[in-house]
């Protein structure tokens, strides 16, 4: 570690500002700006490592003590980041080299949790943030009639995925949504404090700050999100209308209104964000994918480590390095039986070098097979930009980071599965309809949810949604964009948005919507680079090192250039474009439109 030299560098910079005459302070020089940002970069790198290591321990050992340690480390990092971002405005308008200006901009716009300058308020904010994260991780449903048995989120998700009993599904849905009301009041205070910090940094509110991190004006980014949603809405609507009709057939019109919203507990997922678990209910008649990947993996007695090896081998086939040995030593792949952990799958970059990890309670199924590719995408992105300076050690925008692994997962085609020996025969072209339906239930179904989570938070942060209307506004958006409704009436004593990890954990969500758009744009471009001529859903870039080299070159850019430049380097396009996802699902869309002719529109 370089803690001693880092502290010296930061103290040197601080002394400069203390002893410089007032006149000079009002007219800073380019040299001072460069000294400032270099010292800030070193300090934040050091604090980030410390906070990351403590955060890892907390996520894997949720206790009173680790929660406090994590809060203290987060508070220290947040205090430094806020102070530096505030001080950096001294250099606004100054002509400086490109790297200095970009790093200052990233410092100012990259704060996810803006804290007030007041020490007590900052500490309060970080403690609330860590405690909500912990409350979610510890969350369990303990029914009064359950004989003392409690259900974790994993237990309840299994019920949501597998049960076809609407009463049981409703009970599981309602059960999980009891974990969030206890921190509803905390969340309102969290918003208040976070907004104060954002305003002190020069932003309207925290949502305005979040939207400022996309190399465009905040209002322009909101317009861009809506533009992309409108591009994909007809595809979603077609899937929705067909799915609702099949659920009416399964459960009856008394449970699923043929002309109304789909009840949220019937779509196979706790948040109705992905519907792939109800594939058997909506599968095209007489269509078959030709294989059941979950069954194959389980019959082969595949273990968690082998699941990860499949993902690693894909990246290696593109010419990338093997995962470091420390990855295998330090990652969490299975849920421990003896303690609470945050099971939500995540990738970690602890030292911005080689200490990368994943934390995931792996289940042996097709969903986690893809999720592993997604998380390793984060890891390989981190490895690619490890040589960049601290402020550039990130993706071009946060949607890029989420998209890379999913881009690889799009290459998990029947042809690929045959190449690695998981299936013996590639299904014929007739199977494409089933394959596309299965994937659409995952990706297309997700799009409105990916959009509305932050749309809700932007309005919460701006004050358009008041604390007294949190739940009503949440369900208004879910009805408008997803076309779903809760299984029973909800009230403002509930806090259903908080039953989603990313709200409790203060993780911006627009990145996931963007990632869903970008992964198809990336996939189309990489397939074009590979010279592939067939249907886009049958293209796999597995074992294509030339394509891998092009991908690696973009990853290595990190955040050093605005995201349109990174996008253009990979795709030849400098604008996000949802036509790629439309192209990918075109055969399915045509079939859905035929099925929906006599059905009520959404």
Q: Which residues are catalytic?
A: 375, 502
Q: Let me know: does 406 contact 311? Beta carbons within 8 Å.
A: no
Instruction: Name 520's bridge partners.
Output: none
Closest CA to 348 of 31, 58, 144: 58
Query: What is the enclosing helix (H) or strand (E) of 261?
Result: none
Question: Do β-strands 484-485 and 262-263 pair in parallel, antiparallel, or remain unpaired?
Answer: parallel
Alpha carbon distance 5, 277 (integer Å): 53
Residue 501 near residue 272 (C-beta atoms within 8 A): no
Alpha helices in 61-202 (DSSP H): 64-88, 98-109, 119-138, 153-162, 166-176, 184-200
Among residues 232, 263, 199, 269, which one has the least CA distance to residue 478?
263
Matching residue, tokens 């949190």: 470
How far CA 142 is from CA of 147, 148, 149, 150, 499, in Å, comes to: 9, 7, 6, 4, 16
CB-count burial class (<10 Å; 0-12, 13-18, 19+) for 31: exposed
The owner of tokens 């290459």 is: 411
**Contact (Cβ atoms closer than 8 angstroms) between residue 291 and residue 417:** yes
- Which are the contacts of 308, defined by CB distance < 8 A and separation ≥ 6? 331, 333, 358, 362, 372, 376
Helix 432-442 vs helix 586-595: crossing angle, to nearest 10: 90
CB within 8 A of 57, min separation 6: which ones? 66, 69, 70
How big is the chain, counted in residues?
602
Q: Across the strands, what pairs with 152?
A: 140
Closest CA to 593 of 119, 238, 124: 238
Q: Contact at 8 Å (CB) between 154 and 141?
A: no
End-to-end CA distance of the chain: 58
Contacts of 296 (CB under 8 A, 6+ apart): 422, 423
The position carrying tokens 């506004």 is: 473
């Amino acid at each position: 570690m370089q803690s001693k030299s880092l502290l010296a560098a930061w103290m040197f910079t601080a002394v400069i500002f203390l002893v410089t005459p007032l006149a000079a302070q009002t007219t800073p020089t380019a040299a001072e700006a460069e000294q400032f940002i270099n010292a800030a970069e070193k300090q934040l790198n050091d604090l980030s490592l410390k906070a990351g290591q403590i955060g890892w321990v907390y996520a894997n050992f949720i206790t009173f003590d680790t929660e406090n340690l994590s809060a203290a480390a987060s508070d220290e990092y947040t205090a430094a980041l806020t102070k530096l971002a505030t001080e950096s405005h001294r250099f606004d308008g100054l002509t400086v080299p490109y790297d200095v200006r970009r790093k200052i901009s990233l410092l100012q716009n990259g704060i996810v949790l803006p804290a007030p300058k007041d020490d007590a308020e900052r500490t309060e904010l970080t403690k609330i943030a860590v405690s909500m994260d912990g409350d979610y991780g510890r969350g369990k449903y303990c029914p009064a009639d359950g004989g003392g048995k409690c259900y974790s989120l994993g237990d309840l998700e299994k019920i949501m995925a597998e049960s076809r009993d609407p009463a049981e599904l409703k009970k599981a849905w309602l059960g999980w949504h009891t974990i969030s009301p206890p921190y509803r009041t905390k969340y309102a205070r969290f918003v208040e404090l976070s907004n104060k910090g954002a305003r002190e940094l020069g932003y309207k509110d925290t949502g305005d700050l979040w939207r400022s991190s996309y190399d465009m004006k905040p209002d322009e980014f909101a317009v861009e999100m809506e533009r992309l949603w409108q591009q994909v809405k007809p595809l979603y609507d077609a899937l929705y209308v067909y799915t609702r009709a099949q659920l009416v057939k399964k459960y009856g019109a008394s449970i699923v209104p043929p002309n109304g919203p789909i009840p949220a507990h019937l779509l196979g997922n706790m948040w109705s964000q992905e519907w792939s678990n109800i594939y058997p209910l909506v599968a095209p008649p007489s269509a078959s994918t030709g294989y059941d990947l979950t069954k194959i993996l389980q019959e082969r007695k595949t273990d968690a480590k082998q699941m990860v090896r499949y993902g690693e081998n894909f990246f290696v086939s593109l010419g990338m390095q093997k995962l470091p040995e420390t990855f295998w030593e330090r990652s969490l792949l299975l849920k421990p039986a003896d303690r609470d952990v945050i099971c939500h799958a995540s990738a970690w970059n602890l030292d911005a070098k080689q200490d990368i990890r994943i934390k995931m309670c792996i289940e042996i199924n097709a969903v986690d097979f893809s999720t592993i590719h997604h998380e390793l995408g984060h890891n390989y992105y981190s490895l690619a930009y490890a040589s960049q300076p601290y402020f550039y050690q990130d993706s071009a925008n946060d949607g890029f980071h989420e998209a890379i692994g999913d881009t690889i997962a799009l290459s998990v085609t029947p042809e690929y599965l045959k190449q690695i020996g998981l299936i013996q025969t590639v299904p014929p072209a007739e199977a494409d309809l089933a394959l596309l339906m299965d994937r659409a239930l995952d990706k297309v179904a997700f799009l409105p949810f990916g959009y509305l989570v932050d749309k809700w938070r932007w309005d919460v942060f701006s004050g358009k949604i008041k604390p007294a209307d949190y739940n009503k506004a949440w369900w208004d958006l879910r009805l408008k964009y997803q076309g779903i409704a809760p299984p029973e009436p909800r009230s403002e004593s509930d806090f259903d948005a908080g039953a989603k990890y990313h709200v409790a954990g203060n993780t911006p969500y627009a990145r996931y919507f963007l990632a869903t758009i970008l992964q198809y744009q990336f996939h189309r471009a990489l397939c074009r680079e590979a010279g592939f001529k067939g249907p886009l859903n049958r293209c796999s870039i597995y074992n294509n090192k030339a394509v891998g080299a092009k991908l690696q070159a973009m990853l290595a850019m990190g955040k050093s250039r605005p995201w349109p430049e990174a996008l253009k380097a990979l795709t030849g396009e400098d604008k996000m474009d949802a036509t790629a996802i439309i192209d990918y699902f075109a055969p399915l869309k045509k079939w859905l439109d035929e099925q929906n002719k006599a059905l009520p529109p959404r």
